[in-house]
Chain A
Amino acid sequence: MKKAIKLLLFTSLLMLFVLVATACDQQDEEEIVVYSSRNERFVQPLLDKFTEETGINVRALHEADALQLREEAGNVQADIFISNDIGALEYLRMEDLLASFDGEGVETIDAQYRADDNSWIALSARSRGFIYNKDMITEEEMPKTMEDLMDPQFEGQFAITRGGNGGMIGNVSALRNEWGDERTAEWIEAIKENAAGIYNGHGDIRQAVGAGEHPFGLVNNYYYHQQLEEPTNNNVGFIYPDQAEGEMGVIANAAGVGLVNGGPNEEDANAFIEWLLLPENQLAFVGESLEIPINPDLDPPYEHAVRFTDLKVQQMPLKDLGIYFEDTKELIEQSGLDLELR
């Protein structure tokens, strides 16, 4: 009996210990809470660098959705939102979920890549295009425009992502701006019909194309860079579509950072953005993604990347993606492309 009581005492002590332990690390140090919708592999090293240099702890939630900020509007948890879709950031700004930023370093980024009140700032750019396997298809045989994907001659030739993928949503939003909803819906129906594979993310597509499972796939340009860096299956090429005279130009999007309105650690959050705007950290933001830094003074980490100034880019200001953010998903789903894999 005595032994049992001792055990009981021991367990309650342990419980106390656990309680104290959890209470401790919530109060002791300065910290910020970062929600990120980018791949953890690109973001975590950046956050670690921040903690190392400033001593401010970062609690990160990766693969977070912009809508989580909306759900938590009455009970704000995050200080910073890192997104790979400008549409999401501008949408959050329009919903008053972001706060204006007036710290140093903003001027390194062209005004078209920031919100009017700098509540979000884009740091790295990407464009849509087709990665192709050079063993299976030649550059001449490849489609040259987004519209070409609707052509029955490419049926069964390529891979796309599910409709809910951020890159795909941005792509469709841009087409809505260019073509209107009706034509865009036709495009979605057609590519769903023509696609030989529908994948969860672009990483799966580049690997599948590299391994020769499909002649080509619709991805963001930096996935092409990533595949070139692979030790095997790297005989791939890339088409920047819609470059000819009279065509719309390549569809662009960017990744950036937003300052959350009413976040719990306002001061440190501002410090984070200022830190991030230092040129070296702008490069760290691009990181392993091999995207192209928006700051024109910085060299792309991937040397052979085509610079945006050398490309014909779609006219639409990136901000306008925010207007389409909410109902693009609905259009995609209604046109028969599932948001999630089934």
Chain B
Amino acid sequence: MSNHRHHKHQSNYDKHAKAGEHSSPAILRFLRKKWRDSWHGNPPGNVLLLFGLSTGLIMSVPIIYVIWQSLFAGVDRWQRLLDDRIPQLLFDTFLLAFAVTVCAVVIGVILAWVVVRTDIPGRKWWQWLLALPLVIPPYVGAMTYIIVFGPSGWARDFWRDTPWLVNVLGDYPINVYSFWGVFFVLTMFTYPYVFLIASASLRKMNRNFEEIARSQGMNTRQIFWKVNLPFLRPAIGAGAILIALYVLSDFGVISMMRYVTFTAAIYFQRASFDIASASILSLVLILLTVVILWIEVKTRKKSKYYQTSNTFKEPDVLSLGKWKIPTLMFVGVIFFVSVVLPIIVLVYWSIIGIGMGALDNRFFGFAWNSLRVSLFASLLCMVLAMPIVYLKSRYPSVISSSIDKLSYAGYALPGVIVALGIIFIFNNHIPTLYNTFYMVAIALVIRFLPQAMQAGEASLSLVSPRIDEAARSLGQPPWKVMFKVILPSILPGVLAGGALVFVSSIKELPATLMLRPPGFDTLAVRVYIEANESLYYLAAPSALLIILVSVIPLRYLLKKY
């Protein structure tokens, strides 16, 4: 430690004691005091603050740019879209989000209750089997359902070759390219969010309440409605919001099954280079997302259900009795439809594909592209997440919490909007990076940084601030403390966050699709392209590989809930 720094440190303490310098004018002194107050008397070093601030800025700039563009799109365009497209889109989007959310919540809660509270055979297994749809990207699910139930799918062939079906019911009745197709696929691949959250809170539920209810003469059904369900309300709310946000942001399923919500409309407007209209639709979608987030904050504040912890008793397991077979069938059907069938279809087509030489150099090129862009994004996320998390935890203030909130902007909003903003910015202001690998990587960072932040935060909360203080007292600036002292002790958490980002990046479709430079297709993009061309033997191996990679962080995900 240099003498000089030592001296500065000393004078710092003096300042504290005398509350301000004498040399500076009053207004500066006032500002400085305000500054210190906003950090609760403990401002972070400049390096750390600058780092955090610029990250927060990068995270939010693309979205601000889109909003800005939409404000200058011209009254005419606004008028035309407001008269015609927007009401229709609002209706279609809302209808889908509502239907999927309700259905997924019902399925998720029933499954959670059955698995946690009843003696269904194989309880332990179902707990994680039913969460498996999480590893299948919904657009892959959509592809498998097009293969099975599409206009030239397996089910159609079976129907056509089965005379009595044709005679009794007429021509093949299923149209997957419809609201019901999209609704079904989205429900089947999003219910695990509710299932996981509801299972966790059912497991924590205290038995005492139920015993009291039972002593008052309530039967199991009444207990479920009057005791269990109210306790589950926060969990259901959280799950429902996750699902609604997902439906708003989904692009793959919707466009593959030819339904149009805001994301698809924005993508198509952009594809025909009507950027102004795309921005306007984006602004409406941003507002829609904000409304949902606002609802979440509102409901979270209102609903607090306290459970006394000192007399906690594990909830008891109910006997299914005569309901055993029907329940098992219900659970089995859901599992079959959301996991087994898609995997069978993918394996079937992968075998055909491998036989036809789908695993050629091109395929490995795509896999390599996926790997390196996701790896780069996840490393970047790990580095960028640290200062934000560290600031928020050790230097709480308005500024650090706004940086934190800004970083969530790209996470909450659909990928198409992030991509739209990034195209604007890079093409107009950063031409050297435009159409490069880095543009895609930055989009992925903006989309998934919060996943790394959450993982880092969880680990950091276990490290005592006393350690930081000890290091600081030895004269190290905050950013050095963070990297040298704190980072090594929370590294496992940071790496877990990186793994999450990695997997999300591999699966990401819309932003990659819109931003990929020429000659840089990824596995996800190929699945989308080949599936749209009905070249399933080429799409299936890529899809299967994505799913295999997605299994990696499943353990972590399951532990989180």
Contact = CB atoms under 8 A, between A and B. Distances in A.
Nearest to B156: A211
A33 B249 CA distance: 32
B506 interface: no
B495 A75 contact: no
Contact of A11 (B151, B379, B519): B379
Contacts of B489: 1, 4
B88 interface: yes
Contacts of A7: 491, 495
B258 A341 contact: yes
A323 B283 CA distance: 34
A59 interface: yes
B217 interface: no
A77 B375 contact: no
B517 interface: yes
Contacts of A14: 375, 379
A61 B379 contact: no
A342 B264 CA distance: 9
A172 B151 CA distance: 30
Interface in B508-535: 516-520, 529, 533
A72 B519 contact: no
Contacts of A74: 427-428, 431
B427 A18 contact: no
Given A40-B529, A75-B431, A342-B260, A22 B518 contact: no
A11 B383 CA distance: 11
Contact of B376 (A15, A164, A213, A329): A15
Nearest to B431: A75
Given A7-B491, A40-B529, A70 B273 contact: yes
A12 to B, nearest CB: 8
A26 B269 CA distance: 31
Given A4-B489, A41-B533, A78 B431 contact: no
Contacts of B265: 340
B518 A342 contact: no
A71 interface: yes
B488 A60 contact: no
A244 interface: no
B487 interface: yes
Interface string A206-221: 0110010100000000
Interface string A1-21: 100110110010011001101
Is chain B's binding surface mostly helix, strand, loop or mixed? helix
Contacts of A164: 272
B174 to A, nearest CB: 14
Contacts of B434: 72, 75, 77
Nearest to A67: B273
A196 interface: no
B435 A77 contact: yes
Interface in B345-399: 372, 375-376, 379, 382
Nearest to B379: A15
B268 interface: yes
Contacts of B268: 339-340
Contacts of A341: 258, 260
A200 interface: yes
A342 B431 contact: no
B78 interface: no
B272 A67 contact: yes
A172 B152 CA distance: 31
A59 B519 contact: yes
Contact of A339 (B272, B379, B520, B529): B272
Nearest to A78: B518
Contact of B518 (A60, A208, A340): A60
B375 A34 contact: no
17 contacts: A4-B488, A4-B489, A4-B492, A8-B487, A8-B491, A14-B375, A22-B438, A26-B436, A33-B518, A59-B519, A72-B435, A75-B431, A77-B517, A78-B518, A164-B272, A200-B258, A340-B272
Given A7-B495, A70-B273, 17 more contacts: A18-B375, A18-B379, A22-B376, A22-B437, A33-B518, A59-B518, A60-B519, A61-B517, A65-B272, A72-B435, A74-B427, A77-B517, A77-B518, A78-B518, A339-B272, A340-B265, A340-B272
